[in-house]
Amino acid sequence: MRHAVADSLWTIAWRRLRKNIGAVIGMVVLGLMVVMAVIAPLITAFEPTTQILEYSVRPAMFRGNVLFKRNPAEPDRPSIVAVTTWSLKGDSVHYDDPAGEPYRLHISQMHGTTPDEWHDEPLFILGTDRFGRDMFSRLVYGMRVSLSVGLISEGIALLIGIMLGALAGYYRGRVDDAIMYVTNVVWSFPTILLVIAFSVILGQGFWQAFVAIGISSWVDIARIVRGQFFSIREQEYVEATRAFGFSSLRVIGRHMLPNAAGPIIVIATAGFATAIIFEASLSFIGLGVQPPTPSWGSMIRDGYGYIAIGTNVGMAVFPSVAMALAVFALNLFGDGLRDALDPKTMQR
């Protein structure tokens, strides 16, 4: 028999979340993306920056034929030679390059010791880009950028937003007025323009993009936290903590914040999705993460020219679909979370 003790908010929310098909789909897609991003080196044939110029702009499911030549400068990164045919005759490797020119290499010049090590017929599932780089590899490594931008930028935004919102909601009065003034000023700027402006100030790059997005996106969080704190502060248990003489920091951190966690998590999920869009927008216009680091935004930009002429559309379409999928999954999950944590619809 079950105890009469009420389940915690989180247990109930989790149970409701699991019943929400959309949220479950969102979680599964996100989970898969995170796994792919983590094990990226294991599932990609080439590094995202490896160029095979002979294989520039190949369609999806293109199968290459390459030899690996020893690279004395970097033993771990053999030079890649695209071939049409090749054969091993005694101590030398004979091959024709894509232009039909015959060449010969001594086996000591090859990477490794056996043909298995120096020859491969890699499959480019999503084709290649202008520089003959593996689109699939760029997509997966781009996912790393997008997921980390979501995580880190949203982390920065949460830090600023929670701090300011909590201070405003807890102390009210002058502190609240001052913080709300700053919030209103920042809120007046369209966020993407703020991100662009901060990117111009901070310069281009990986970390700059993270910071620019983070310090532009805290306003909604601050507003939500402030609103939550306004009502939580009236609760009896908060009154009790004050009667005990707890410090403000302890009351805010240990007693009030955990009770405002639901709405914060919901808005953080939405912010995660927005951060991904912002990063892609930044690299789409040439700010943010710089080449050759793969980013979905810059990949879409690279492929855009092909859209207008209607050939090789995959170069722009694949990263677009990947981004849409990631953001859609996050929003599905966020919507489910909101419903699951909404006390108005809460039933045991």
Q: Which residues of this protein are in contact with another protein, per CB under 8 A?
A: 22, 181-182, 184-186, 188-194, 196-198, 200-203, 273, 277, 280-281, 284-287, 300, 304, 307-310, 313, 316-317, 320, 323-324, 327-328, 330-332, 335
At residue 301's C-alpha, the angle toward residues 141 and 98, to 5°, is 75
Least Å distance, CB 147 to another protein, is: 16
Least Å distance, CB 27 to another protein, is: 15
- Torsion 118-119-123-124 (CA) sign: positive
Q: Is the previous residue joined to 72 through a cis bond, with omega within 30 degrees of 0?
A: no
Contact 87, 94 (CB under 8 A): yes
Least Å distance, CB 25 to another protein, is: 11
Least Å distance, CB 203 to another protein, is: 8
Strands lying side by side in the sheet with 119-120: 79-82, 66-69, 119-120
Query: Between 6 and 309, whose beta carbon lies closer to another protein?
Result: 309
Look at the block and give the residue holding tokens 């080439």. 46
Least Å distance, CB 219 to another protein, is: 12
Cα–Cα distance between 61 and 64 in angstroms, integer? 10
Residue 215's alpha-carbon distances to 104, 185, 261, in angstroms, are 57, 13, 21
Query: Between 64 and 334, whose beta carbon lies closer to another protein?
Result: 334
Least Å distance, CB 284 to another protein, is: 6
Query: Between 12 and 317, whose beta carbon lies closer to another protein?
Result: 317
Least Å distance, CB 209 to another protein, is: 14
Contact 324, 316 (CB under 8 A): no
Query: Between 24 and 257, whose beta carbon lies closer to another protein?
Result: 24
